[in-house]
Amino acid sequence: MPGIRATAWSVLAGVLVWCALALPASLSELSPAALLRLPVLALVLVAVLLVVRTRAAVVALGVALALVVVLKVVDIGFSAALNRQFHLAYDVANLWRGFDVLADWKGLAWAVGAVAALLVGAAVLVIVLVPAMLRLSDVITRHRRGAVTLLLVGVVGAVLGTQVRGADIVSTATATLVRDHATSVYADYRDASVFAAEIADQPLAGQSRPLGDLAGKDVLIIFVESYGRSSLTDPELAKTVAPVLTTGTSSLAGAGFESRSGWLTSPTFGGESWLAHATLQSGLWVDSGRRYEQLLGAERVTLTRAFGEAGWRTSFVMPSVQGDWPAGQEFYGFDELYGAAELGYRGPPHGWGGIPDQYTLSWLQRSVLSETSTPVMAEVSLVSSHNPWPDPPPLLPWDEIGDGSAYACLPGCAEEGPDDVRSQYAASIAYSLKSVISFVVERPDPDLVVVLVGDHQPWRYVTGEDPSHDVPITLIAADPAVVDQITGWGWTPGMMPDPGAPVWRMDTVQDRFIRAFSAPPEVQQQQ
């Protein structure tokens, strides 16, 4: 009986270690068949255990394997949410942001429970895998000749045959994960010097009179949260969103506005909106938290600074900002920051940002655009379409919005919507777009220029597998001369970009925009 228990424990130890090594690092590859494949690192592990003699070294291997499994789970989460792997160098902060989002979505108890589950899961992995590794080491030590034979057979099998009837029999999941993370740590380390050189290269910094062709215009750069290409190309999502753009194009034309649309490739996916904002503003590819922090500590000509130096009053209207943001203000160079407190919203909280988009635009008109004769350049964040997606509120008559108290009588405006996440996402995007269109049409200003742009695609449980990072961008203006300046861009007339319209990286917008609306040097000298 003791012999049977010992054998069973040995087999179980081998199975546990095997499964930990064979476990894929993506949901799309996760299946029972995946766990039956021969892990390449199992061969390496057997070779190491044939050499390693100390108990402490074997315990360290068990702990390391447990951490690798945790890293796989975190990678799966990041892949589903952000369409990329977890970066050891800078993504720990995003885990805390994920806690905040979950707390806002499901409540603090859910967020604490998720963290506790992760910590307990990690502890269980260590408690299980360390003894399993010790047992496996004992077995290999007692049966060295058999272990060597199995190792040689495994190596030959891995080299000569990788598939049976079209199915992989060798798993490289863990080996690939370890390699990719080691590579990313090294690349992230080297990237600091590479990005510093990119920051220092500022070809537009010396222009004496930039943006002269927009003189006297109020220019709004409006980011719509999670407004991605999938909302217009996925048939199920597009049936809700596309009609808003089609109708909106007609409504704008009726109010004297033209629109042109194209596509941008965002540096981020599913979240981390600040990376998209920084990329468009700076003309640099800001695709990581590390790059973002480095940029905020540097000097760079942003779109905001370019407008400010050309005589515009510059503002950021960001309802998601809950306090002071000195680093951002110093870097971007805007004159005023209007966060949640400054917007003075008195209605019930709605969704993640708490403030309905129509209210944000109403406040912008009343408190910024109408309060100065100086032209305004403002970056505005609309966050009603932020995950999680509640039922969007109805559009109110603009003269009834006031301080937001009118929203108090609307049932369900602070509640999470039905379980059909994709429909809720589409409805929230439609609401944000309707708010912008109504804002322009109901109070038409011949000197208004709007750049409407998505920050990133929604999470992959909305977009599906293999989504792009593309987002729509639309320029809206009443002055035909403004629209004429971008004729060479090849954008589609209207708010609905053609599937074949140009796709630019988001970091090219700053350069193209400033050059399009700045008189060339010889014209500047004549003026």
Contact residues for 421 (Cβ-Cβ < 8 A; gap 6+): 389, 461, 462
pLDDT of residue 303: 93
Contact residues for 246 (Cβ-Cβ < 8 A; gap 6+): 494, 495, 496
Looking at residue 141, its amino acid is T
Q: What residue has token string 């990005």?
A: 195
pLDDT of residue 56: 84
Q: How many CA atoms lie within 13 A of 12 on its CB side?
A: 11
Q: Do 119 and 111 contact (CB within 8 A), yes or no?
A: no
pLDDT of residue 268: 93
Let me know the angle formed at the C-alpha of 64 by 58 and 67, rounded to the nearest 5 degrees.
150
Euclidean distance between CA atoms 160 and 154, whole angstroms: 10
pLDDT of residue 527: 34
What the chain holds in terms of domains, given with CATH numbers, is 2-187 (no CATH), 202-526 (3.40.720.10)
Residue 258 corresponds to which tokens in the numbers above? 């033209």
Give me the helices (H) in 368-484, please.
Answer: 421-442, 460-463, 480-484
Residue 224 corresponds to which tokens in the numbers above? 């719509």
Tell which residue, 351, 65, 361, has the closest CA to residue 223: 361
Q: What residue has token string 């806002």?
A: 104
pLDDT of residue 28: 64
Long-range contacts (CB closer than 8 Å, 24 or more residues apart) made by 364-368 = 364/220, 364/317, 365/439, 365/443, 367/338, 368/315, 368/317, 368/338
pLDDT of residue 25: 72
Tell which residue, 224, 287, 303, 286, has the closest CA to residue 261: 224
Q: Do 171 and 29 contact (CB within 8 A), yes or no?
A: no
Q: What residue has token string 């609306």?
A: 517
Q: Is the pTM of this model over 0.85?
A: no
Sign of CA dihedral 459, 460, 462, 466: positive
Euclidean distance between CA atoms 110 and 96, whole angstroms: 14
Burial of 254 per CB tally in 10 Å (0-12, 13-18, 19+): exposed
Tens digit of each residue's pLDDT, the chain (527 residues): 566 777 777 778 777 877 777 777 766 666 676 666 777 777 777 777 777 778 888 788 888 888 888 888 887 777 766 667 777 667 766 666 666 666 655 566 766 777 777 778 778 878 877 887 778 777 777 777 766 776 676 666 666 655 444 445 677 777 777 787 788 778 778 888 888 998 988 766 455 568 888 999 999 999 999 999 999 999 999 999 999 999 999 999 999 999 999 999 999 988 889 999 999 999 999 998 889 989 998 888 899 999 998 899 999 999 888 777 887 788 998 999 998 889 989 988 888 778 999 999 999 999 999 877 899 999 999 999 988 887 888 899 999 998 988 887 555 444 444 458 889 999 999 999 999 999 999 988 999 999 999 999 998 878 877 789 999 999 999 999 999 999 999 999 999 999 999 999 999 999 999 989 986 644 433 33
| 3-class SS letters over 348-389 | CCECCCECCHHHHHHHHHHHCHHHCCCCEEEEEEECCCCCCC
